[in-house]
Structure 1
């Protein structure tokens, strides 16, 4: 048994935010039916290179544990099929621009008429209300508007986006949390469903946490600090003799004591300019260059070894080749393999949540476009000839 066995999810999403949400649900047992446009499917099927065979690496990364059904939702017959599916679905997830599902006659108010217990989650850039509701949104745009790019990058340098699509992935994670919260509420309220309006902008603003707190406290917008921390020193990346970088996180004065011991610089420990974190923050401009010069005497891994030996948080800055050969990553099964119907064995990132009693798993490979049309439609009572007629009419 998996924790979400028996939960049926209709997934009308594409790109990343919605597919990441439904990936999380599918990994833990939900039956996710991915609804795609006939002939083209999810936009990310064509996002490449790189491709593995005919499939884009991007699509393969976030669409396992799903079944694919093609439906042309502009067609009334396809809308009827969807309503049949929705009648006993637990969850509908969509990430169209607000208003589009209403034009398909498949918005929340319509779906709840056939299924009052449905949890209907709409993910959009700016939400279903407000002056920006109809604006298009992609991750990079949202990283800029939300403030994330303003605090990412080197001091005095250009704003930078984070190296993965955190606005998309973050919204997908918030959506999965919201759906599970709504399902929990439904279980305790005689089966009452609800609509979820989830905005990428809201999701990113919520992530501002302590950076927002600094702004509220000072009235000054936080600035970019590269790999450094705004209120802890030293808490950043340094370069070793070999040109490799490593991170150090001195998050308390107790760790500062051990840090000085680990690098054999007790003179720094005795210096009144560095006696506590407040002093170190005030003297950041002299302490950080001093440490960087000192760290050029030895290779990065040597410093990491010495600091870890005295229980100071330190670690290498790995590239993904390092990550997926790391013994801890391998031990935690964060690199997995599964068999794809046309590609053979493909690699996937693992499942980050380890349940003791109801673990998730990789049960279905990322689907081919429309791979499960016959399987799903016949389960709804359509005959083989009716399915063939839908194909001929462009319904599926």
Structure 2
């Protein structure tokens, strides 16, 4: 198993990190804002995460726990420093102002208007640091008729069109399985911040804020849904495992009651697939030479393919298709991924020691940079673990820090 920080991983840590020197202040909780900060932290940014005193980010207690701390927390909050602040308190706001003076990026995912009530909105913070870049993640964006509504990924996936397409046509819509609306918004936030940083470096001037709406992050990846409706009035619907108009591409059952996804929707791959499953008649059929002809006979093709897959165990079917250079895969569970040699070879699963003993398996870092790859330097921190370090760095004395603690500011 791949372990850090020894061996190859130690060599990785010796390489420069692309965001070294970039200072990030994270104001927010759960996924959409904090995941954006997590990506920046994995590539070397110095991320200070602000958490409520006593309770911390609710993610600390989401899903499976280890010694009263969520495994998800350890993963998403890796490489961050934890500072507890009651943001409603003026003394805490003053600390944030000091941090902003030396920050490059601030990330927040409160409902629009919340930070403004606490003297921490864009106008206030950009006046303190004119070069500041602020990622603002919310359900519906910073303006518009829905701006004040609360929003979570599930709602964004619904209003943005994704949920309508997820599942089978004869059943209610389903979720994607993960909070994809949150993570998409985080990715857009990081992209926006990198573009804003580049603009600032090249053109100078002032910083800017990046307005990311969860529903827009989902809507932005909905492919041709809107052009098709705008021109033809066509409403895309749920289609289960198939891709209407693109054939063959679907999910098929194997003899050992597993599922195999086969995507043979290019002309040359289709021929290779048909020859591999012993259907040269279909490979040579002139009506099936191109996708438009195959789409008209997609049911026939799916029946032929499943007749073959249902007579083979999954592993055997995959071997045949790999030898024929046909894109195919089983549908992996976490157990399948954990044992997959390709994931291990590319360090997409790594092990880190846990506080108090034992190990945690973490997802590897994406994307992979050849010269300055990201790394896991430490796991998600304890609540307020870096209070003294950060506050002393801002000039607070031990007596000052104790006074803040006594007032429940930190």
**Structure-2-length-normalised TM-score:** 0.93
Measure how far apart 1:276 and its partner are. Answer: 2.7
Q: 2:133 aligns with which of 119, 134, 143?
A: 119
Counterparts in 2 of 1:222-233, with a 5 A limit? 222-233=236-247
CA 1:269 to 1:216, structure 2 compared with 1: closer, same or farther past 3 Å? Answer: farther
In 1, the alpha carbon distance for the partners of 2:249 and 2:229 equals 20
Partner residue in 2 for 1:76: 90
Measure how far apart 1:80 and its partner are. Answer: 0.4
Counterparts in 2 of 1:27-42, with a 5 A limit? 27-42=42-57
Partner residue in 2 for 1:189: 203
Q: Given the alignment of the two structures, is residue 19 of structure 1 paired with residue 34 of structure 2, yes or no?
A: yes
Measure how far apart 1:193 and its partner are. Answer: 0.7
Measure how far apart 1:56 and its partner are. Answer: 1.2
- Contact kept, 8 Å, 1:53 with 1:343, in 2: the verdict is no
- Contact kept, 8 Å, 2:277 with 2:308, in 1: the verdict is no
Partner residue in 1 for 2:281: 267
Q: 2:214 aligns with which of 169, 177, 200?
A: 200
- Contact kept, 8 Å, 1:334 with 1:349, in 2: the verdict is yes
User: Mean alpha-carbon deviation: is it higher for 205-214 or for 330-339?
Assistant: 205-214
Partner residue in 1 for 2:251: 237
Measure how far apart 1:345 and its partner are. Answer: 2.8
Partner residue in 2 for 1:168: 182
CA 1:178 to 1:312, structure 2 compared with 1: closer, same or farther past 3 Å? Answer: same
Q: 2:72 aligns with which of 58, 69, 77?
A: 58
User: Mean alpha-carbon deviation: is it higher for 338-347 or for 189-198?
Assistant: 338-347
Cα-to-partner distance string for 1:208-237 (whole Å, 9 max, x where unaligned): 123334334431111111121133111111
Q: What 5-or-longer segments of structure 2 have no aligned partner?
A: 1-15
In 1, the alpha carbon distance for the partners of 2:231 and 2:78 equals 44
- Contact kept, 8 Å, 2:61 with 2:68, in 1: the verdict is no
In 1, the alpha carbon distance for the partners of 2:351 and 2:201 equals 35
- Contact kept, 8 Å, 1:263 with 1:303, in 2: the verdict is no
Q: 1:103 aligns with which of 117, 131, 138?
A: 117
- Contact kept, 8 Å, 1:232 with 1:250, in 2: the verdict is no
CA 1:9 to 1:191, structure 2 compared with 1: closer, same or farther past 3 Å? Answer: farther
Partner residue in 1 for 2:393: 379
Cα-to-partner distance string for 1:234-281 (whole Å, 9 max, x where unaligned): 111111111011111112111111111111111222345534321221
Cα-to-partner distance string for 1:2-54 (whole Å, 9 max, x where unaligned): 10000000001211111110110000000000000101111111223x10111
- Contact kept, 8 Å, 2:250 with 2:302, in 1: the verdict is no
Partner residue in 1 for 2:10: none
Q: Give me the CA root mean square deviation.
A: 1.5
Partner residue in 2 for 1:7: 22
Partner residue in 1 for 2:9: none
Q: Residue 206 of structure 2: SS of its match in structure 1?
A: coil
Measure how far apart 1:375 and its partner are. Answer: 0.5
- Contact kept, 8 Å, 1:340 with 1:366, in 2: the verdict is no
Q: 2:307 aligns with which of 293, 305, 314?
A: 293
Q: Residue 171 of structure 2: SS of its match in structure 1?
A: coil
Instruction: State how many pairs are aligned.
Output: 395
Q: Residue 39 of structure 2: SS of its match in structure 1?
A: helix
Q: What 5-or-longer segments of structure 1 have no aligned partner?
A: none
Q: Residue 339 of structure 2: SS of its match in structure 1?
A: coil
Q: Given the alignment of the two structures, is residue 350 of structure 1 paired with residue 364 of structure 2, yes or no?
A: yes
Moved over 4 A (4+): none
CA 1:190 to 1:271, structure 2 compared with 1: closer, same or farther past 3 Å? Answer: closer
**Structure-1-length-normalised TM-score:** 0.96
